[in-house]
Structures are given as C-alpha cells and as structure tokens.
C-alpha cells in the first residue's frame, strides 16, 4: 500500500521503516531538510538498535524514501500516518500544535480519499475533533477518515517493539478504515485489538500511566524497605511470581524519565481535571516520581555538611540504557542542583553526552571519555543509568580510582553482597547501605 508518514522522530521514523520492511511503499515527511537529506543516505538521526540496517535495506530496495515535499507525498498516499510529537504544555496538558499543523497541510493538498492514522499520543476525543476538522475543510467529494493507532514502542528496543509488538491497537469508526488498517498490518502477524477511537486513545494513556504507577509504587515500597530494614530485591522477587503482578517494571530506582511517562501522566491528570475528575493514582505516580528523582541528592545533603568543592563522578546521563535520549532524565535535575551547590563534577555516558551538553554546560562539569577517568579522584560517585559497562565495574575499580570510594547507585546495578568488606561505601535504593 502507498503510505505517507508525517514526522521522523522516534515514532514516525520507526513506524515508516517497519511498514517499509513489511512490504509497503512508504514516504516519510519532515520539515527539516538536513535531516531528510541524511535519512536518504541511510543515516538515522536517533540511536536505535537495528534501525539503520533496516533503513538502509529498505532505501536500497526502493520502498522507502524521505522528503520535505509534503504535497506530493500526501497526494499519492492511500493512508497517512501521523507520528509527530505532542509535547507537554506549561499546565501539563498535551500540545496539539504539531498535529494540527500536519492536518492543515494534509487538508490543503489532498486530492483523493485517504485514511489519516494518528499514532501520536493524544487526549481522548482528539481523533473525533480531527475528523470533524477534515470534514469542515476538505471538499465533500473527498473521503477523509481518521483512525487511532497508538504506539507502544520503548526507546532502545523500538524496532523490535514495533515488529514484534504485544498487540496492535486500532481505533476506528467504520469498516472502510478497519479494512485498510487490517491489510496494512496483515504481514505483521500480531494480535490485534479493534475498538473505537476513544477506547484506543484511552488504552494508550491507561497503559503508559499504569506502568509509570507501577514504577512509582515500587519506588515507594523501596523507600519504605530502607526504613524497616527489608530488601527490595527480595520483596520484588517474591511479588513477581504472582502471575497477576508479573516480573517486569518492578525495578526500584531514581525515578522514571523519558519522553512518555512524565508527559503522559501529566496529560491524563490534566485531562481528568478538565472533566472535573481528579485521577488520584496518577497524581501519586507523578508526585512520587518527582520526589524520587532527588532522593540521592537529599541523602548527600544530609550526609555531608556542604557539597561546595566536592568532587562527584556522575555515571550515566540518559533516562535509561540503550538510548541517547536525555529527556526528563533524573540526571538533569540532580546535576543542576549539584552545580548550584558548588560541586565539581565529572560525567560519563556512552552515547548521551552530546545531547546533555546542549542543555547543561559549566566550568564545573567535565565530560569524560571513559569510566575510569570519570571516577579518578572523585569523593562520591552517583549512578543514574544502568549501562552494562557501568554494571561491569567492580568494588576494586571504585576503590582504585576514587579519592574516597562512596557510591550512590540510583539504579541498583550491583548486589549489596559484592561490596561487603571491600572498603567501599555503597548506597542503593530500597536496600540497607554497606559501610
Ligand atoms: C515507555 C513505554 O514502555 C512504551 O510502551 C511507550 O510507548 C513509551 O514509553 P520508554 O519511555 O522508551 O517507553 O522507556 P521504558 O523502558 O518504559 O522506561 C521508562 C522509564 O522508566 C526509564 O527512565 C526507566 O529507567 C524507568 N523504569 C522502567 C524504572 O525505573 N523501573 C522499571 O522497572 C522500568
């Protein structure tokens, strides 16, 4: 099928590449000419496992191309996917500016019937509104329908999550739209949930916010474990064997970040308030996460009289491993606070430094090329991301390179036992400290 995809961010690009991989003829559109030129050469703007290989493969076999010429792409497409961002506004609600600007372009140029599929995460009722907008702006003889097809891909495993998704959710209001989407996804051979547009929109928020809540719940239990001298690893394992709970997303840590959970929790909470219904569990997930992100910072403030001039090594900057994305990463707020308090920081991340540098630069923040240089001479080390090379560090490394081997592990990268009797002071989340 001839498909156009608007937006070449995480969602748009991965969707376009995977649809091409499944045999469709795909044109991806973006306004950034430089990005489009590089994509046509097979260079991905994001670091994502397996993406560049599939990008190159499908460019070569001629069923994928990138353009800034939206008119041509929208005019020839049978189905137009929209995967542009819906960033958070100041009041927490989702901004639909990018989405409406794409719809404007579509409405201004289409010449034949087409199905517009919204992949972006949007407030419930948006698909209905967009369809009304098309009905009002496009000539009556052209049939434009809107369908919701939310995305559940996680960064770092986006290609795999798309090609082997747990489910494909399709929100449609007509058999025409359903049959088009069914035939697009036929080749994926995945379980399909076909429902109304509003249900589909809600499934996306409810899923993401449930996962965020699961993490905040575990973080709160972990904090309490520290107080009552229990161990969150054992507690989580004991919980995980209950199939109603399951083993995933039970990892306590320094809080969730990224482009989805923080934004989607705030958007649903704000939507609830708009309708006069306060979603209290979502509010709790947000508040616990905000508090959790500064847990280690608060502990440092209690442990030391001052952080002025203290040499601190920061290990990991991205919001999780496997991505160079630092959006809402817990490292951001912590590094800002530590710099304000006069600490002198060295920082390392295998892929995230470039993005981080664009947001924070300071004479007291020195980016390093490897972990050993980062740890050298430090009085405290803080771990924000569980990269595998960080997990491979040994107590010997901390002891050997640091001036005083005091480690605050925000991602529980190590077992407590590994540090017993090593002379390294080890603090983690939801477990007793080793001194
Ligand atoms: C998430 C959803 O998983 C995905 O389905 C949705 O489409 C987009 O949002 P992503 O933001 O890429 O994906 O990352 P994810 O792996 O879900 O992790 C999000 C945050 O939660 C990270 O900061 C991670 O460190 C944290 N996390 C995750 C925990 O703190 N504990 C866990 O057990 C799992």
Tens digit of pLDDT for each residue in 332-373? 999 999 999 999 999 999 999 999 999 999 999 999 999 999
Which band of pLDDT confidence, cut at 50, 70 and 90, is reported for residue 164? Answer: very high
The whole-number average pLDDT for the span 208-229 is 98
Contact indicator for 101, 70 with CB cutoff of 8 Å? no
pLDDT of 317 above 90: yes
Calculate how far, in angstroms, residue 280's C-alpha sits from the geometric centre of ligand 1.
21
Calculate how far, in angstroms, residue 13's C-alpha sits from the geometric centre of ligand 1.
19
pLDDT of 18 above 90: yes
| Closest listed residue to residue 313, CA positions, set 265, 279, 277, 349 | 349
Structure tokens of 75?
């005019």
Contact indicator for 117, 108 with CB cutoff of 8 Å? no
Contact indicator for 146, 127 with CB cutoff of 8 Å? yes
pLDDT of 14 above 90: yes
Q: What is the DSSP string of 336-401?
A: HHHHHTT-EEEEE-TTTHHHHHHH---TTEEE-SSHHHHHTT-SEEEE-S--HHHHT--HHHHHHH
Structure tokens of 95?
């901004």
Calculate how far, in angstroms, residue 312's C-alpha sits from the geometric centre of ligand 1.
27
Is residue 10 within 6 Å of ligand 1 at its C-beta?
A: no
Q: Decide: helix, strand or coil at residue 115.
A: strand
Is residue 134 within 6 Å of ligand 1 at its C-beta?
A: no
Q: Which of 211, 213, 327, 333 to mutate to test the pocket of ligand 1 (most atoms within 8 A of CB)?
A: 211
Q: Which of 15, 51, 154 to mutate to test the pocket of ligand 1 (most atoms within 8 A of CB)?
A: 154
Residue 189, C-beta contacts closer than 8 angstroms, at least 6 positions apart: none
Question: What distance in Å separates the CA atoms of residue 116 and residue 78, rounded to the nearest whole number?
Answer: 9
Structure tokens of 203?
């499934």
Q: What is the DSSP string of 220-271?
A: HHHHHHHHHT--HHHHHHHHHTSTTT-STT----S---SSSHHHHHHHHHHH
Is residue 356 within 6 Å of ligand 1 at its C-beta?
A: no
Calculate how far, in angstroms, residue 316's C-alpha sits from the geometric centre of ligand 1.
16
The whole-number average pLDDT for the span 391-400 is 97
Structure tokens of 84?
């542009």
The whole-number average pLDDT for the span 74-100 is 94
Cβ count within 10 A of residue 320: 20
Describe the strand order of the beta sheet including 344-348 as a list of residue ranges.
Answer: 365-367, 344-348, 311-315, 380-383, 406-409, 425-427
Which one of the listed residues 103, 114, 225, 260 is annotated catalytic?
Answer: 260
Of all protein residues, whose CA lies closest to atom 21 belonging to ligand 1? 256
Q: Which helix (H) or strand (E) holds 415?
A: none
Structure tokens of 206?
């409810």
| Closest listed residue to residue 412, CA positions, set 212, 216, 219 | 219
Of all protein residues, whose CA lies closest to atom 2 belonging to ligand 1? 154
Structure tokens of 135?
């009905």
**Paired residues of 194 in beta bridges:** 170
Distance of CA 150 to the CA centre of its chain: 14
The whole-number average pLDDT for the span 402-431 is 97
Structure tokens of 330?
């817990």
141 catalytic residue (yes or no): no
Structure tokens of 417?
């036992």
Q: Decide: helix, strand or coil at residue 170.
A: strand
Contact indicator for 236, 396 with CB cutoff of 8 Å? no
Residue 221 φ then ψ, to 5°:
-60, -40
Distances (CA, A) of 259 to 54, 86, 191, 399: 24, 10, 26, 36
Distance of CA 128 to the CA centre of its chain: 26
Q: At what angle do helices 280-293 and 197-228 cross, to 10 degrees?
A: 50
pLDDT of 47 above 90: no
Is residue 384 within 6 Å of ligand 1 at its C-beta?
A: no
Calculate how far, in angstroms, residue 154's C-alpha sits from the geometric centre of ligand 1.
7
Question: What distance in Å separates the CA atoms of residue 424 and residue 381, rounded to the nearest whole number?
Answer: 11
pLDDT at 156: 87
pLDDT at 32: 93
What pTM does this model have?
0.95
Lowest-confidence region among 67-71, 204-208, 279-283, 321-325: 321-325
Is residue 386 within 6 Å of ligand 1 at its C-beta?
A: no
- The model's pLDDT over 227-246, given as tens digits with 9 standing for 90+, comes to 999 999 999 999 999 999 99
Can you tell me which atom of ligand 1 is nearest the CA of 215?
Answer: 31
């Amino acid at each position: 099928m001839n498909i156009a995809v608007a937006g070449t961010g995480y969602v748009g690009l991965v969707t376009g590449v995977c649809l091409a991989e499944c045999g469709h003829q795909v044109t991806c559109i973006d306004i950034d000419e430089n990005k489009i030129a590089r994509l046509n050469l097979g260079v991905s703007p994001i670091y994502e496992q397996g993406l560049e290989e599939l990008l190159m493969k499908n460019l070569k076999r001629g069923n994928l191309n990138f353009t800034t010429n939206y008119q041509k792409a929208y005019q020839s497409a049978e189905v137009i996917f929209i995967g542009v961002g819906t960033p958070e506004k100041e009041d927490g609600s989702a901004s639909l500016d990018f989405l409406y600007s794409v719809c404007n372009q579509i409405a201004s140029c289409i010449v034949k019937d087409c199905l517009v599929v919204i992949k972006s995460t949007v407030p419930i009722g948006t698909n209905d509104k967009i369809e009304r907008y098309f009905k009002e702006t496009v000539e009556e003889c052209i049939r434009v329908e809107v369908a919701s097809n939310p995305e559940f891909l996680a960064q770092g495993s986006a290609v795999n999550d798309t090609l082997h998704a747990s489910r494909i959710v399709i929100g449609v209001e007509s058999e025409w739209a359903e049959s088009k989407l069914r035939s697009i996804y036929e080749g994926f051979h995945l379980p399909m949930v076909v429902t109304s547009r509003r249900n589909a929109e809600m499934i996306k928020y409810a899923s993401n916010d449930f996962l965020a809540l699961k993490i905040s719940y575990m973080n709160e239990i972990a904090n309490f474990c520290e107080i009552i001298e229990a161990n969150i690893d054992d507690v989580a394992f004991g919980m995980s064997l209950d199939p109603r709970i399951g083993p995933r997303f039970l990892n306590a840590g320094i809080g969730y970040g990224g482009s989805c959970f923080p934004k989607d929790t705030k958007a649903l909470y704000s939507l609830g308030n708009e309708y006069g219904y306060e979603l209290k569990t979502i509010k709790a997930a947000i508040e616990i996460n905000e508090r959790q992100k500064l847990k280690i910072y608060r502990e440092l403030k209690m442990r030391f009289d001052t952080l002025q001039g203290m040499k601190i090594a920061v290990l990991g900057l991205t919001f999780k491993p496997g991505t160079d994305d630092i959006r809402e990463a817990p490292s951001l707020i912590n590094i800002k606070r530590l710099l304000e308090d006069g600490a002198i920081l060295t920082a390392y991340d295998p892929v995230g430094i470039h993005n981080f540098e664009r947001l924070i630069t300071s004479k007291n923040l020195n980016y390093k090329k490897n972990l050993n240089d980062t740890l050298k001479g430090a009085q405290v080390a803080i771990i924000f991301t569980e990269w595998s090379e960080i997990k491979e560090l040994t107590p010997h490394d901390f002891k050997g390179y640091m001036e005083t081997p005091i480690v605050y592990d925000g991602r529980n990268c190590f077992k407590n036992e590994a540090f017993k009797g090593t002379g390294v002071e080890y603090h983690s989340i939801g477990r007793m400290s080793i001194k």
